[in-house]
Structure 1
Amino acid sequence: MKPERLAAFTDGVIAIIITIMVLELPTPHGADLASLKPVLPLLAAYLLAFVNVGIYWSNHHHMLQAAKKVNGAVLWANNALLFSLSLVPFLIRWIGEEGVHALPVAAYGVVLILAAFCYYLLERALIAAEGEESRVKEAVGAKQKEWVSLIGYATATGLAFVSPYIAVAIYVAVTAMWLIPDRRFEFWR
């Protein structure tokens, strides 16, 4: 299979994930600014989740541009990544219905950890499929941002039971770190 086909499939699934997330947003009851107040926490959660899913999509897109070969292990690693990202709408709905509380916020962290791990598995599967001369291997590098992200997610997941707002602040900080463009795959275009 060619990487382009896998990229197209992933694009479709991520589009569905984002669509489901936006459909979970309630319509404010009223036509004034005060009517937005009850939905602001959910809008904030949606924004954070949208940006996180977008970051995964963007990095996935760049990584597959560098890839030349896809095999069964790559397909399953990609499916694992998509599974973890497909849990995001459920968690956004949970946070939206219950508010910013420890368990839903911690569960969001667990899903972020799962997605990061699955993305790592996808990188490894692509490298294994292409061998030592893999352009993906050459581009991946030291993975400093990935380790900082995992430490941040794990810390925030635990802190969610102390203060869910501190946990959310850490999730936002890690997300902001990823908004700085990652140039590792840029040279393969």
Structure 2
Amino acid sequence: MNKGRVEAYTDAVVAIILTIMVLEFKTPDNAQWEEITRQLPYFFAYIVSFIFIGVAWYNHHYMFTLAKRITKKIYWINNLWLFSMSLLPIATGWIGKFPLYANPEYFYLLIFTFWSLTYRWLSNAISKSPDHVNSTVSQKIEQMLPFRFLNSWFFPLSVIIIAACIYLIPLLGITITLIELIILGVSTTNDSDQITK
């Protein structure tokens, strides 16, 4: 399968998801500051989701740049991964409207977990495809922090901890998610900004 076409399709879907999220911002009804400050909860949720998509895209781009070939299996797992990400605007909007309630936070955690599982499946599929198994590609993918985190016991433990925190203080859910995303965004592999093919 043409890798460039799959990458272009993925980029287009990601751009649409970002566009949908930014369109949730409402133009204030008047010129008073309090009109815009009413949207601060959504703005915070939007920032987290924007970072989420940015980190996801960067790591996805790195994996696809390493990949020699995109199989039919990888293509369909990639579609499932995109589907999980397409649910993010709903979760972001719900948290933005009700930032102090547990149900929107649990829904965001559910989407984040679904996305994480599909990303883990995708990275494993690329790493273990016949073209990549036991190669430099496989080694580089398996050295990525998201790969190591999602394939370790830390991942289910973090989901349980975040769920418990949401029960106690709902706003902690998206706040802890933001911290995780910042760590994943900063801790990229050494060559992630040097690969150009």
Query: One fold, TM greater than 0.5?
Result: yes
Indicate yes or no: 2:73 matched with 1:64: no
CA deviation digits over 1:112-156, x for unaligned, max 9?
Answer: 111111111111211232242444311123544444455334421
2 CA distance for matches of 1:115 and 1:67? Answer: 21
TM-score (norm 1): 0.89
Aligned partner of 1:136 in structure 2 is 137
Q: Is the 8 A contact 1:84 1:114 kept in 2?
A: yes
Deviations 1:75-101 (A, max 9, x none): 111011101100000111212233331
Unaligned segments of structure 1, at least 5 residues = none
Specify the SS of the correspondent of 1:106: helix
Indicate the residue corresponding to 2:184 in structure 1.
Answer: 178
Contact map agreement 1:152 1:170 (CA 8 A) in 2: no
Query: What percent of counterpart residues are identical?
Result: 28
* Higher mean C-alpha displacement, 99-108 vs 143-152: 143-152
CA distance in 2, matches of 1:100, 1:135: 46
Letter in 2 for 1:74: I
Distance 1:98 1:165, change over 3 A: closer
Corresponding residue for residue 5 of structure 1: 5
Q: Which one has a larger percent helix, Structure 1 or Structure 2?
A: 1
The DSSP-based 3-state class of the residue aligned with 1:70 is coil
Structure 2: 5+ residue stretches without partners: none
Give the letter for the 1:90 counterpart.
Answer: I
Aligned length: 189
- SS of 2:168 mapped into structure 1: coil
Residues in 2 aligned to 1:5 and 1:171: alpha-carbon distance in whole angstroms? 31
How much does 1:18 deviate? Answer: 0.4
1:160 maps to a residue whose letter is I
Paired residue type of 2:100: V
**Bigger shift: 2-11 or 15-24?**
2-11
Q: Decide which of 158, 169, 175 is 1:169's aligned counterpart.
A: 175
What aligned pairs does 1:17-96 form with structure 2 within 5 A after superposition? 17-96=17-96
Change (3 A) 1:126 1:53: same
Q: TM-score normalized by structure 2? A: 0.86
Q: Distance in 1 between matches of 2:128 and 2:18?
A: 30
Alignment of 1:105-124 (within 5 A): 105-124=105-124
For residue 35 of structure 1, report the CA deviation from its aligned partner: 1.9
Task: Write out per-residue CA displacement over residues 51-108 of structure 1, whole angstroms, 9 at most, x where no aligned residue.
Answer: 1011111111111000001111101110111011000001112122333310111111
Amino acid at match of 1:177: I
